[in-house]
């Protein structure tokens, strides 16, 4: 089965043009399946039956794997055998009827509006780095884009006059508005901050590190954690915290879920609905605390 896995990984790379991380993820999942089958004496993909896959899922459960991990492994196996069927290597996809375990959607951590305000106030306007950091945080909170999207934004993606930007994700584009505060922060950065960092006239990236090179996700994570500490925020801050806070604050203030879905780039409305559930949970909590018969 090893040669078929290698053929599938090459297919992902050359035909589907998946990212290196996606390749590695599939390879890692399929290696586990291959080892499980080899322990059963199964060396050929054509000998993998529905029963073998069912036993493999039971094995992952017995190993204490998280439902999200099991679901990903099932998806990897399903895609692998789907490829083998298309190529004529096997006649049947043994994973086609396998159901992934139910995954409880965790309520993401968000900042209160006061915490958000304190965080956004932390970067100093007295240095190019401070101007850049404030612009990044303000834009992130104003639009709810992912950190990966933020660090890949280009100057040409912004329409400062109309106060919107074009964000690209997996070959799709979405137009997202931003407000006056984010506009002012970005304008100050472009005028006083970015020229001190970026010497290359051909560099179109909006945000760079202090050397004028592309910024990493890890670099931004350190940045936001540092400002969170300065702001006295006790809850855990992740690169997604401002994105979640953006959505939750919009929904709690009456924004339409479908509009929030479009801005976040969610393909499924159910993913966005968790923010409405958060608002409902918070209302219940406040009711119990405040109502005399709560």
Residue 191: per-residue pLDDT: 95
What ranges do the domains of the chain cover? Answer: 2-87, 113-289
Q: What is the mean pLDDT of residues 146-156?
A: 92
Cα gap 226→106, rounded to integer Å: 25
2-87, what's its fold?
Answer: DNA polymerase; domain 1 (1.10.150)
Is pLDDT above 70 for 170? no
If you classify domain 113-289 with CATH, what class do you get? Answer: mainly alpha
User: Which of 287 and 121 is assigned the larger pLDDT?
Assistant: 121
Is pLDDT above 60 for 284? no
What does 188-255 look like in DSSP terms, one character per residue? Answer: HIIIIIHHHH---TT--BS-B-TTSSBPPHHHHHHHHHHHHHHTT--S---TTHHHHHHHHHHHHTT-
Order of strands, sheet of 172-177, starting from the edge strand that comes earlier in the sequence: 158-159, 164-169, 172-177
Cα gap 275→108, rounded to integer Å: 9
Tens digit of pLDDT for each residue in 204-219?
A: 999 999 999 999 888 8
- Most distant pair of Cα atoms in the chain: their distance: 69
Q: In the chain, pLDDT over 70 holds for what percent of residues? A: 90
């Amino acid at each position: 089965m090893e040669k078929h896995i290698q053929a599938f990984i090459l297919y992902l790379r050359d035909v589907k043009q998946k990212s290196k991380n996606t390749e590695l993820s599939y390879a890692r999942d399929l290696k586990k399946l291959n080892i499980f089958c080899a322990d059963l004496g199964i060396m050929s993909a054509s000998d993998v039956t529905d029963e073998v896959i069912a036993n493999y899922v039971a094995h992952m459960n017995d190993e204490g794997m998280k439902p999200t991990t099991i679901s990903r492994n099932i998806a990897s196996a399903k895609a692998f055998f789907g490829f083998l069927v298309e190529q004529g290597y096997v006649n049947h996809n043994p994973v086609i009827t396998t159901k992934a375990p139910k995954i409880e959607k965790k309520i993401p951590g968000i900042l209160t509006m006061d915490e958000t305000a304190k965080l956004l106030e932390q970067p100093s306007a007295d240095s190019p780095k401070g101007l850049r950091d404030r612009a990044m945080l303000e834009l992130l909170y104003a639009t709810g884009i992912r950190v990966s999207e933020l660090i890949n934004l280009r100057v040409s993606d912004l329409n400062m006059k109309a106060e919107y930007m074009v964000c690209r994700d997996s070959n799709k584009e979405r137009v997202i508005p931003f407000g006056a505060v984010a506009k002012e922060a970005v304008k100050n950065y472009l005028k006083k901050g970015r020229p001190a960092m970026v010497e290359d006239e051909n560099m179109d990236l909006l945000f760079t590190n202090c050397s004028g090179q592309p910024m990493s996700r890890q670099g931004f994570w350190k940045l936001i954690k540092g400002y969170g500490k300065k702001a006295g925020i006790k809850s855990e801050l992740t690169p997604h915290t401002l994105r979640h806070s953006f959505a939750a604050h919009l929904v709690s203030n009456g924004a339409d879920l479908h509009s929030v879905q479009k801005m976040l780039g969610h393909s499924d409305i159910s993913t966005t609905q968790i923010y409405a559930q958060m608002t409902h949970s918070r209302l219940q909590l406040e009711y119990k605390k405040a109502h005399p018969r709560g």
